[in-house]
Amino acid sequence: MSSRVALIAVLPIAVLAAAGFGAKSTAKKALPPAPPFQHFHSRPDLKPPVIKILTRAHDTAPGLVFLAPKMVVAQTGPMIVDNAGRVVWFHPLSAKGMVGVADFKLQHYHGKPVLTWWRGRAPMGVGSGYYAIYDTAYRQIARVRAGNGLTGDIHEFVITPRNTALFTVYQQKHVDLSKFGGPKQGRIFDGIIQELDIKTGRVLFEWHSYPAIGLKESYVPGPKAAKGPKAPPWDYVHLNSIDPEPNGNMLVSGRNTQALYELNREGKILWRLGGKRSDFKLGPGARFAWQHDARRLDDSTITLFDNGAAPPVEKFTRVLKLHLDLAHKRVSLVRRYVHPKHLLVPFEGNAQFLPDGHVFVGWGALPYYSEFDAQGHVLLDAYFGHGKPPLKDADSYRAFRFVWHAKPDPPPALALSGRTAYASWNGATDIVRWRLLVGGANDDLAVIRTVAKTGFETGISLPPKGRLARYVAVEAIGRDGRVLGTSPTIKR
């Protein structure tokens, strides 16, 4: 299983059952401690996870960090932070009913930057949901759902230059599995790639892994015949990334076949790389297993997140940069990137190769993210779990770095506590200072203090209460000195 969404919702029951607490037990139920979160006076509704920096950022690529924390967190949702781990934007989403979020990133739709993510349920690592598209004011401008009666999977959502959407779908299919030691009335998960027009929802392309990719290519054992039709579906291929190429082909990753596939627009597999039917000879260090996030950098270079587990076949997870020799059908290792703690990541994860040669890595099932320079030196390393490293409690399916500028629709938030005013503006990226305004009437305020922005929330000292300081507001100021937004006025 390569994605765990909101498992904490069922964890206490499992823990209690294992400890021998039956339905008639009168013993007190010991619940696990609540995960810690950040507190903000001006936005008490936001409870993002605490981020701890292991290697302070230096010489990193420009931009902000994009995460989608889930599992053992107070709130799950898309989150943007700066290099110091300070929140820029957090959008909490309900985790009730095993609802989660994944694949949060910046893309372009009709030439404009947008935020996209998957939203839905994934109880067996197989998603059933939809894809959200938000603009630079954090307004939803589109919601993409799979066509032909299917539902969108957690693993991939790509907006193409043609303003179409490419994504993965999982569909149960009845198949005779007796040749593989399974039930005659068996089931598999058919891995599907679908492309549709975002505006109209019209399906433009649909490809099915079965029977194009044979069941015998899988490294995952099939279900046992003794379980009969109640056996769970065999997730024999587990598609987890699609990378569209300029020539119209797609590079597709099958985790459970441990192979990459070059697929054309007619649905034909042009070649296989890795797995049991590889068309290429892999050189020293180039072999991979249980991989994620396969990408084509150019005609001769492929990158991927080589989990090496689970079950483990390697000592630690590697990010691989491979040279692809199509003429001689050979693949060689160019460079590998490894976490300083030699993490072995059982599932999820990605590697974003940036324009300056840096590599930004989300360590998937383990709640870390890192940035390397082209030579593999660590420029930033952080985690957002709440135990001692290595951590396995929270996760983010992928992590990215993007340059992002946004101005939210709602105004800045303001809260007063004692002699301090607390100002924040969830999602505003270009604030450098806050101005404090006070006055004797809500329509007669004057600036009395300007302070530098210090993080998501900035505290500003208030003057003593008095006839001329009964009302308070704040203004967010940009680099050019202009007012970006003004909070509602509060009476003290």
Bridge partners for 333 per DSSP: 322
Contact indicator for 51, 81 with CB cutoff of 8 Å: yes
Question: Which residue is listed with tokens 């040279």?
Answer: 323
What integer pLDDT is reported at residue 30 of this predicted model?
62
Residue 389 pLDDT level (bands cut at 50, 70, 90)? low
What integer pLDDT is reported at residue 229 of this predicted model?
80
Contact indicator for 68, 76 with CB cutoff of 8 Å: yes
Rounded to 10 degrees, the C-alpha dihedral 53/42/74/26 comes to 130
Tell me how far apart the terminal alpha carbons of the chain are, to the nearest angstrom.
Answer: 54
Q: What DSSP designation does 487 have?
A: P
For β-strands 330-337 and 281-282, DSSP reports them as parallel
Q: What DSSP designation does 412 have?
A: P
What integer pLDDT is reported at residue 156 of this predicted model?
98
- Which phi and psi (to 5°) does residue 7 adopt? -65, -25
Residue 393 pLDDT level (bands cut at 50, 70, 90)? confident
Rounded to 10 degrees, the C-alpha dihedral 289/290/293/294 comes to 40
Q: Which DSSP helix (H) or strand (E) runs through 44?
A: none
How far apart (Å, rounded) are the C-alpha atoms in residues 375 and 361? 14
Pairwise pLDDT comparison (391 vs 61), residue with the higher score: 61
Q: Which of 82-96, 106-120, 197-211, 254-268 has the lowest mean pLDDT?
A: 82-96
How far apart (Å, rounded) are the C-alpha atoms in residues 316 and 318? 7
% of residues, the chain, pLDDT over 90: 84
What integer pLDDT is reported at residue 29 of this predicted model?
60
C-alpha closest to that of 359 among 429, 438, 305, 282? 305
Bridge partners for 420 per DSSP: 417, 461
- Joined tokens for residue 423: 């100002």
Residue 280 pLDDT level (bands cut at 50, 70, 90)? very high
Residue 31 pLDDT level (bands cut at 50, 70, 90)? low
Q: What confidence tens digit (pLDDT) does each residue in 240-269 have?
A: 999 999 999 999 999 999 999 999 999 999
Instruction: Return all residues near 167 (Cβ < 8 A) that are at least 6 apart.
Output: 131, 144, 146, 152, 153, 156, 157, 158, 193, 194, 242
What integer pLDDT is reported at residue 4 of this predicted model?
41
Alpha-helix runs per DSSP H in 21-174: none
Q: Which DSSP helix (H) or strand (E) runs through 455?
A: none
- pLDDT for 321 beyond 70: yes
Which burial class, exposed, middle or buried, applies to 288 when counting CB atoms under 10 A from its CB (0-12, 13-18, 19+)? buried
- Joined tokens for residue 143: 């919601």
Contact indicator for 430, 467 with CB cutoff of 8 Å: no
Question: Which residue is listed with tokens 């993409």?
Answer: 144
* Residue 126, helix vs strand vs coil: coil
Q: What confidence tens digit (pLDDT) does each residue in 47-56 have?
A: 999 999 999 9
What integer pLDDT is reported at residue 385 of this predicted model?
80
Q: What confidence tens digit (pLDDT) does each residue in 201-224 have?
A: 999 999 999 999 999 999 999 999
What integer pLDDT is reported at residue 1 of this predicted model?
46
- pLDDT for 89 beyond 70: yes
- pLDDT for 112 beyond 70: yes
Q: What confidence tens digit (pLDDT) does each residue in 330-377 have?
A: 999 999 999 999 999 999 999 999 999 999 999 999 999 999 999 999
How far apart (Å, rounded) are the C-alpha atoms in residues 270 and 235? 23
Written as one string, the DSSP assignment of 214-275 is -GGG-SSPPPPGGGGGGSPPB--S-EEEEEE-TTS-EEEEEGGGTEEEEE-TTS-EEEEEES
pTM: 0.92
Q: Which of 87-101, 293-307, 326-340 has the lowest mean pLDDT?
A: 87-101
Q: Which DSSP helix (H) or strand (E) runs through 57?
A: none
In 98-225, which ranges are E strands? 99-109, 112-121, 128-134, 140-144, 157-159, 164-175, 186-197, 203-208
How far apart (Å, rounded) are the C-alpha atoms in residues 235 and 215? 10
Question: Which residue is listed with tokens 């006070």?
Answer: 438
Contact indicator for 70, 395 with CB cutoff of 8 Å: yes
Which burial class, exposed, middle or buried, applies to 109 when counting CB atoms under 10 A from its CB (0-12, 13-18, 19+)? middle
Average pLDDT for residues 168-188, to the nearest whole number? 95
What integer pLDDT is reported at residue 322 of this predicted model?
98
Bridge partners for 192 per DSSP: 169, 208
- Joined tokens for residue 305: 């997140």
Which burial class, exposed, middle or buried, applies to 94 when counting CB atoms under 10 A from its CB (0-12, 13-18, 19+)? exposed
- pLDDT for 230 beyond 90: no
What integer pLDDT is reported at residue 244 of this predicted model?
97
Residue 305, number of CB atoms within 10 A of its CB? 31
Residue 229, number of CB atoms within 10 A of its CB? 11
- pLDDT for 101 beyond 80: yes
Q: What DSSP designation does 49 have?
A: B
Q: Mean pLDDT over all residues of the chain?
A: 91
464 preceded by a cis bond (ω within 30 of 0): no
Average pLDDT for residues 458-470, to the nearest whole number? 92
Q: What confidence tens digit (pLDDT) does each residue in 394-407 have?
A: 999 999 999 999 99
Contact indicator for 207, 150 with CB cutoff of 8 Å: no
- pLDDT for 33 beyond 90: no
Bridge partners for 274 per DSSP: 259
Contact indicator for 89, 114 with CB cutoff of 8 Å: no
How far apart (Å, rounded) are the C-alpha atoms in residues 222 and 329? 31
